[in-house]
Every structure is written in C-alpha cells, then in structure tokens.
Amino acid sequence: MMNKHILAFSSLAFASALAFSSAPAFAQNAAMMQARSACQADVKALCPNVSPGGGRIMECLKSQGDKVSSGCRAALTSAAHAQPH
C-alpha cells in the first residue's frame, strides 16, 4: 500500500516538473505562432521575394520600419519578450 502512494507521488512530482519546465517553451512557441499570424499580410506585402530562414524575413520587416502594421509590431515585441535570455 505504501509503495503505491510513493509511486503515485513520484509520478505526480515528475509530471509537475515536466509541465513547469516546458511552460517557457510553450509560451515562446505560442508567441511565435501569434507573430507569424499577425505578420502574414505584412510579409506578403513588404517582403514578397524574401526566402524564409536565417532571419531574413525578420531583417526585411525591420528594414521596412514604419510600413509594418501595428499588430505585427506588437506581436513581434511579444515574441521577443518570450525568448529566453
């Protein structure tokens, strides 16, 4: 009987540790997905010939300055704050 309680407690402790360790990664992924969604129209309009990867789209958006929509800019700011330091 005692072994079942120890096993249940150990399983709960492991699940809790796993959940807390993956929370920052989940927040980071969610912020990046939101930024992709919010910036989709900006990328199509402002950076149509830029190939994804290597930060090229981010550099293109940065180079467009005030042309980037406020929604995209806010989403990129949120995504940057979700990045681990």
DSSP string, 19-77: HHHHHHHHHHHHHHHHHHHHHHHHHHHH-TTPPSSTTHHHHHHHHTGGGS-HHHHHHHH
What is the pTM (predicted TM-score) of this model? Answer: 0.65
User: For 9-59, how does the pLDDT look when each residue is reduced to its tens digit (9 = 90+)?
Assistant: 433 344 444 444 445 666 678 888 999 999 999 999 999 999 999 999 999
| 65, pLDDT greater than 70 | yes
